[in-house]
Amino acid sequence: MTDDLPPAPIPNAVLEAAVYADDLDLAEVFYGELLGLPRIQRVGNRHVFFAVGASVLLVFNPDETEAPPGNPRMPVPPHGARGPGHVCLTLDREGIAAMQTRLTRANVTIDTAFDWPNGARSLYVRDPAGNSVEFAESWLWDDLKPG
């Protein structure tokens, strides 16, 4: 099927990742105030965006993003997902420990915290919408990445 196609250009980073939440107020408190992510933009009950290093975490209300775009100059097609998703944010080992302490003190249930077979640390919690939020050391996938 792809034998007659030119080589694919390989992307080198994830620019943005999205999770979906029915209650953007709760999501904004969780990601902005509790996790400390700088808010980039909020548009009504449609979305709230946060800076994560060089990337952006998009939090969309699924009901709003299923609607066709209202601005012809921004023809983003309707999209979305239902049910819990997953996002992983990088922290070093000390940052993961500090985040675990902060989240525990804020009465956020820790789903799990453990070291992977390669020694990288991960911490998992749920945001108010039920999305799985992982904090992991940045080298978690290094030994599995191609050359």
**pLDDT at res. 50:** 97
Where are the extended beta strands (E) located within 33-120?
Answer: 39-43, 47-52, 55-60, 86-90, 110-115
**pLDDT at res. 17:** 94
Spans of the chain, pLDDT less than 70:
1, 147
**pLDDT at res. 74:** 76
pLDDT digit string (tens) for 8-37? Answer: 777 788 889 999 999 999 999 999 999 999
Q: Which CATH class is domain 16-67+82-136?
A: alpha beta
**pLDDT at res. 137:** 95
pTM greater than 0.75 (yes/no): yes
Task: Return the percentage of the chain with pLDDT > 70, whole number.
Answer: 99
Q: What angle is formed at CA 46 by the lines to CA 20 and CA 42, rounded to 5 degrees?
A: 100
**pLDDT at res. 147:** 67
Are the beta carbons of 95 and 35 closer than 8 angstroms? no
Residues 14 and 55: their CA atoms lie apart, in Å, by 7
| Residue (of 128, 111, 134) closest to 20 by Cα position | 128
**pLDDT at res. 141:** 92
**pLDDT at res. 82:** 84
